[in-house]
Amino acid sequence: MSASFENRDGTIWMDGALVDWRKAQVHVLTHALHYGSAVFEGERAYGGRIFKSREHAERLRRSGDLLDMPVPYSVEEIMAAKEAVLAANGLTDGYLRVIAWRGAGPEMGVAAAGNPVRMAVAAWEWGAYYGPAKMQGAKLDISRWKRPDPETIPCHAKASGLYMICTMSKHAAQAKGCSDALMFDYRGFVAEATSANVFFVKDGVVHTPLPDAFLNGITRQTVIDLLRDKGVEVRERHILAEELPGFEQCWLTGSAAEITPVAEIGPHRYTVGELTRWVVGAYEAFVRA
């Protein structure tokens, strides 16, 4: 078992300074701990270059604005902090986690506009998110939880609080021997996995859920561009549960997941076919170009 994330060697950027990993701490009365007032980004570096670093920094700031919690650092400052952490930890390939949160301050209730917004950046080595499923195809459970109506949550923010049902869904999936869970939205349309977008293939056409009730992932957008550049038709649309048996191939996309083939969703089986293998290779080549 790897060391606890609170007890590792390394350096973390926190509120403008590089600090020892073990000293990057917050107070127990931090607002985000009690009320979920935090936004974050998960990113990967390949060969010393952070993939789409600017896009991630821009999204972090947009997420903060959607939570009425402006991130107090510019896009350039966020990007510089990530580069500093990567260098300080001697990493060329690795995963980065950037998080901004409402900290402890003079207020400790639901409203806490007077509390400071803080930010931290950590980085570490992280291999395949789904382990052996990266090559063999992941097995997905079907979650009992739904992605909520956009009128009830800021669904286009990458906000920590929105992952509560994702954690619950993935725990339930792992208890069944699955890698992850597929989630539907409040209308019954296919949405996403707990932390990755989903794609399907039928008769050479790629189908992917329309991101109108969940996050439009940066990796998702990259893969759509790669497919269209290849001349593959991509249809972004609402997908019904009863369509799942009719698809031939399936894969997940995300900064952590990268491109992970899917072999099973509940009772449905999929082939790790030629187009899936092409996407895996094309994405790997693109991020390292």
Spell out the alpha helix ranges (H) of 139-203: 164-175
Amino acid at 68: D
Structure tokens belonging to residue 191: 């949405």
157 neighbors 67 (Cβ within 8 angstroms)? yes
Packing angle of the helix pair 53-66, 218-229 (nearest 10 deg): 130
CB atoms within 10 A of CB 279: 23
Count CA atoms within 13 Å of residue 222 on its CB side: 21
| The pair of three-digit structure tokens given for residue 92, joined into one six-digit string | 């060329």
**H-type helices in the chain, by residue range?**
31-35, 53-66, 75-88, 133-136, 164-175, 218-229, 274-287
Annotated catalytic residue 134: no
Residue 153 and residue 63 in contact, taking contact as beta carbons nearer than 8 Å: no
- Residue 41's region, left for phi above 0, alpha for psi from -120 to 50, else beta, is beta
Which residue type does 177 have?
G
Strands (E), 125-279: 138-147, 180-185, 190-193, 197-202, 205-209, 234-237, 249-254, 258-265, 268-269
- Please tell me which residue in 52, 158, 176, 202 is annotated as part of the active site: 158
Contacts of 127 (CB under 8 A, 6+ apart): none
Order the strands of the 94-102 sheet from edge to edge. 17-20, 11-14, 117-124, 94-102, 38-46, 49-50
Active site residues: 158
